[in-house]
Structure 1
Amino acid sequence: PNISEEEFARDYINHLEEIILYEGSESIAAILMESVTGTNGIIIPPNGYMQGVRALCDKYGIVMIADEVMSGFGRTGKWFAIEHWGVVPDIMTMAKGLTSAYAPLGAVAMKPEIAAAFDEQVFESGLTYTSHPISLAAAVANIQAMREDQVVEHAAGMGGVLRRMLTDLGESHPSVGEVRSIGLFGIIELVKDRKTKEPMAPWNGSSPEMAALRTYCLDNGLFLYTHWHTVLIVPPLIITEEQLREGMDVLDKALTITDKVANK
């Protein structure tokens, strides 16, 4: 729509408030969302949206939970994606980048007033490997290394480079319907028609063109993840501009496969 991000966000916030009023705030324990939606499309909230959700949660006494499993630990150029909007959630979930996948570990952070509830009432839950010392040691070492090597700052700087490269691909290939990125968290939407945005593959499925594109990339040394009609660009946070360009060169050639079925 031909409106500002702020207006767009306000419409969504108004709709969310309507739902809260319809359901009754007393029946809503929490609002849980990914700070930046991952596998389902790298959906980046418009300016003002997260602030609006925070305000609604405060207004109606609802807990705000930010899922940072994919977007946390530098992926978006901040330690946590929600920092981009200056919002502090009540509860935050994290995993993946917490140990850089050297060991499996997930964690939940919460405000002191929420944690205090468990001072008197034990939270009856547990897993076989809860608080495993090897995983905890990996997390501590990982965070220390990320700080010393300024990995998050590097990802923030490379974010602009990735954005330019994705924009260039979009301008060069008719099968690219849209590109989005924040930090080193990016996506390419492939379409058969830019005007109608008909996807290159159906919902919850694939297509010969998407399969061929992925095969070409793998055959030429580029590993990436395709999901329906999208290509996720989620490189290592320590990637260099030269390495990123090398991967994009392979993807540039692979996109000629999907261009063949796109309306020019």
Structure 2
Amino acid sequence: MSRYTDRHGATHTLPDAEADAQVRADDRAHVFHSWSAQALIDPVPVAAGAGSTFWDYAGTGYLDFGSQLVNLNLGHQHPDLVAAIQQQAGRLATIQPSIANDVRGELARLIADVAPDGLEKVFFTNGGAEANEYAVRLARQSTGRRKVLSMYRSYHGSTSTAISLTGDPRRWANDVSDTGAVRFFGPYLYRSPFHASTLQEESQRALEHLEQTILLEGPATIAAIIIESVVGTNGVLVPPPGYLQGVRELCDRHGIVYIADEVMVGFGRMGEWFAFQAYGGQPDLITFAKGVNSGYVPLGGVVISDRIAAHFDTTPFAGGLTYSGHPLACAAGVATFEVFARDGILERVRDLGERVVEPTLRSWASRHPSVGEVRGRGLFWAVELVRDRETREPLVPFNASGSDAAPMGAFAAAAKKAGVWPFVHFNRTHIAPPLVITEDELVRGLSAIDEALTVADGFTA
């Protein structure tokens, strides 16, 4: 890209050093960034984006292999989503949630149509963390119980209950503000906490562990179990055969609500509307956000089972948000469904995942000594990097920072130099490009990461 449009509608030529300097100055002086030591970061100013690529003010383009935060499923500046927002803004920019609205109702119907039978109602939120917060409220208010079980390797958001349920180090500095949160170990065969050697053993032993946790915590005290259908940031941990069905059975046996956190993996990321549909085990509540409208306007929500919804037929639900089901966000959501149907998004994700991504990543595992394991489905994969394949020592320590994280930093820098913006977390790089990426772009991006892995190889034993 050689030209971009500024916020006033004026067109400028790239590179634009003056604009770059102004954006950097404003950001450094006035923007307080999340999850960061403010003086130790240097955010890249972005001038424009289109499809699977975004450009900085120097005119450098990057293939977006993380879909920003695994939310930009339909890519940057998708014309259908932009037009839907513009059209909605022109006819009704906003309305409070207690008033019925055509586009909100239509999106709720479309979501219910792709959810399993028996989940017909949708409560809209402004994002994924709120979706999980409100799913927990629905579970607690409908069961009269307090505790909620979640995995150690998980992320459910940074609001109070969501961060309490989160199992990764982002919880540590925030303490535990929800005393009803209880954690357990989920399945992860490559680093099995159950000393399993097969997927079948891992599934069985993980379910036995979960059952023991339920019994020791007291089944009658547990409102819900919340599980990322495929664990996202913490490793793209795909559930082994039978695991989600086993969770469903345990929940049925003990009257516990099963919440499927689909915030990251829903709406096509795994080649299905919802990831659990590929692995079995129907939940009572489904949380979503991100891919429902690619984050063009903040939107999330909870799909609610008929049984739980019926509890609130005559009992008021204690919860609400000023911007719940915002018309601009819902308009982009409706447009998303139209694009998925017209362009066969689910089918192309399955095709690209099976035909292009999986065999390419399997070849990395055979050629690069730094690749310990690859795992995933569709357009969501993790490449776990190690110093030693035999011992499976991670390339960088768990929750590494500073010089300890240097090997992953060197890998990421090599990928960026080759024109790919990677998604890295701890000792993994994730493959999560926009679902609209062309096959040529996908191959080019994978080739760049392949080359960057030679940098990681240099840190192996």
TM above 0.5:
yes
| Residue 16 of structure 1 pairs with residue 214 of structure 2 | no
1:71 partner amino acid: V
| Residue 241 of structure 1 pairs with residue 443 of structure 2 | no
Q: Tell me if structure 1 keeps the 8 A contact 2:239–2:279.
A: no
| Residue 252 of structure 1 pairs with residue 414 of structure 2 | no
| Residue 218 of structure 1 pairs with residue 416 of structure 2 | yes
Instruction: Quote the offset at 1:13 in angstroms.
Output: 1.1
| Residue 191 of structure 1 pairs with residue 386 of structure 2 | yes
Q: Give the 5 Å matches for 1:20-31.
A: 20-31=214-225
Unaligned runs of 5+ in 2: 1-194
Alignment equivalent of 1:83, drawn from 249, 258, 277: 277
| Residue 174 of structure 1 pairs with residue 369 of structure 2 | yes
1:27 partner amino acid: T
Q: Measure, in 1, the Cα distance between the counterparts of 2:442 and 2:320.
A: 41
When normalised by structure 2's length, the TM-score is 0.55
Tell me the SS of whatever aligns to 2:436: coil
Q: Give the 5 Å matches for 1:71-220.
A: 71-160=265-354, 161-206=356-401, 207-220=405-418
1:200 partner amino acid: L
Alignment equivalent of 2:236, drawn from 42, 51, 57: 42
Q: Measure, in 2, the Cα distance between the counterparts of 1:8 and 1:220.
A: 38
2:336 partner amino acid: N
1:155 partner amino acid: V
The 1:2–1:89 alpha-carbon spacing in structure 2 relative to 1, beyond 3 Å, is: closer
When normalised by structure 1's length, the TM-score is 0.95
Q: Deviations over 1:119-151 (max 9, x none)?
A: 212223223321211011111111121122110
Q: Measure, in 2, the Cα distance between the counterparts of 1:185 and 1:22.
A: 35
Identity %: 46
2:438 partner amino acid: T
The 1:201–1:74 alpha-carbon spacing in structure 2 relative to 1, beyond 3 Å, is: same
Higher relative contact order (CA 8 A, sep 6+): 2
Number of residue-to-residue matches in the alignment: 263
Q: Deviations over 1:198-221 (max 9, x none)?
A: 111121124222111111211221
Q: Deviations over 1:31-83 (max 9, x none)?
A: 10100000000000100100111111111111100000001001011110000
CA RMSD of aligned residues (A): 1.4
Q: Measure, in 1, the Cα distance between the counterparts of 2:438 and 2:222.
A: 45
**The 10-residue stretch of structure 1 (99-108 or 36-45) with the greater mean CA deviation from structure 2:** 99-108
Instruction: Quote the offset at 1:166 in angstroms.
Output: 0.7
Choose 1 or 2 for highest CA Rg: 2
Instruction: Quote the offset at 1:177 in angstroms.
Output: 1.0
Q: Tell me if structure 1 keeps the 8 A contact 2:369–2:457.
A: yes
Q: Deviations over 1:143-199 (max 9, x none)?
A: 121122110111111111211111111111101111111111101111111111111
Q: Measure, in 1, the Cα distance between the counterparts of 2:342 and 2:362.
A: 32
Q: Measure, in 2, the Cα distance between the counterparts of 1:145 and 1:253.
A: 34
